[in-house]
Amino acid sequence: MNNRHFKCLQVLNMLLSVTFLMILPFSCTDDDDTVFPSTLPNLSGLSWVADDVFIGVHDSKNSPEKQDWPRFSLIRLPQSEFEGVIWEPLYLSFPGPGGVSSDMESSCSIPGGKDFLFVESGQEGTNYRRIFHGIYNNGELEINDYIDWPVDIINVEATEVSQVGQQLVFFFAERAEDSASTKIRWAKFSLDPMNLWDFEEILYEGVDPVGPGTRPVVAMDIDAEGYIYIVSTYDSGNDDGPFRSVIWQIGKVNDDGQGNPVVELGLNNRLADLDGLKVESIAIREMPGSDKEIFFGTDDEHFGGLIRLLPDVK
């Protein structure tokens, strides 16, 4: 082997070593006992805060390997092509005897801009069926209060709060895995003190995807006009995929003239087909003087999370 070939091999080995270090999927803690994602964690919930800032919710479980993982992140959209999405994990205190959340699958902003609900799915058992009230102020997020789910649930991944007349209304849907349909349920809601009244419901028939491995509703948001947006998804059951998701505009919430919500379904406007992605969160950004924008977040299991904008949604 001549010197030229030897030097080329040295350079190649150095480049391969640097590349390997750059793509390591985890970074260790100081004591090397726990590993954390080095990229944006899976987004099971997403809420727009203001400008380019969002709150992300992560469905970390209270298992030995994940109990110290973040449940929240502050996310800022890219400011340049070199910067990418910026995220900051948040480690918050949870009120009450239940401690840190487990399988928190959704978040929703409350009209007004600084209050949010963060909701456990209920899949982890009766100890983890809580609805948390969070307050965002000057870049800081804290959990202020919580209530237990007032109705029986199995696995809720979609929640939202909308204003109908002068009344706040809480909406939710079970993900209903392998089912062709699920119920969208709603109840009047107060924030101070937190309380939910009697629930009403309407059946939503899934359109696409359908069949085994599909989940009719895994995320929900409602815009200022009352239009309802949901995500349906397919999960093969393998954390490496394949996945597939469809984003829909399915109906509208109206005021019956007495301040009571009336839900009308049937629009079935297909907004996006997302092959290869498991979308589990959706957030509408409506800034004064700007067109409505819809962002979605993925929970792609071993591939982590991402946040993207849908094009030209009216």
When pLDDT is averaged across residues 112-134 and rounded to a whole number, the result is 95
Could you confirm whether domain 44-309 is CATH 1.10.10.10? Answer: no
For 72-83, the pLDDT digits (tens) are 999 999 988 888
Q: What is the DSSP string of 173-201?
A: EE--TT-SEEEEEEEEEEETTEEE---EE
The share of the chain scoring above pLDDT 70, in percent, equals: 87
Quickly state the pLDDT bin for 12 (edges 50, 70, 90): very low
Kindly state the tokens that stand for 20: 């390997």
Quickly state the pLDDT bin for 11 (edges 50, 70, 90): very low
State residue 262's pLDDT score.
97
Position 261: which residue type? P
CA proximity to 181, closest of 240, 112, 80, 250: 250
State residue 313's pLDDT score.
67
Lowest-confidence segment of 7-16, 29-38, 196-205 by average pLDDT? 7-16
Cα separations (Å) of 80 from 39, 75, 85, 219?
18, 15, 9, 29
pLDDT at 156 over 90: yes
For 221-244, the pLDDT digits (tens) are 999 999 999 999 999 999 999 999
State residue 228's pLDDT score.
98
Q: What is the mean pLDDT of the chain?
A: 89
When pLDDT is averaged across residues 72-95 and rounded to a whole number, the result is 92
State residue 24's pLDDT score.
31
Classified as helix, coil or strand, 255 is strand
Quickly state the pLDDT bin for 23 (edges 50, 70, 90): very low
State residue 65's pLDDT score.
81
The share of the chain scoring above pLDDT 90, in percent, equals: 79
State residue 22's pLDDT score.
33
Stronger pLDDT, 26 or 134, i.e. the higher one: 134
Quickly state the pLDDT bin for 111 (edges 50, 70, 90): very high
Quickly state the pLDDT bin for 63 (edges 50, 70, 90): confident
Lowest-confidence segment of 11-20, 196-205, 229-238 by average pLDDT? 11-20
Cα separations (Å) of 23 from 16, 19, 39, 305?
11, 6, 10, 16
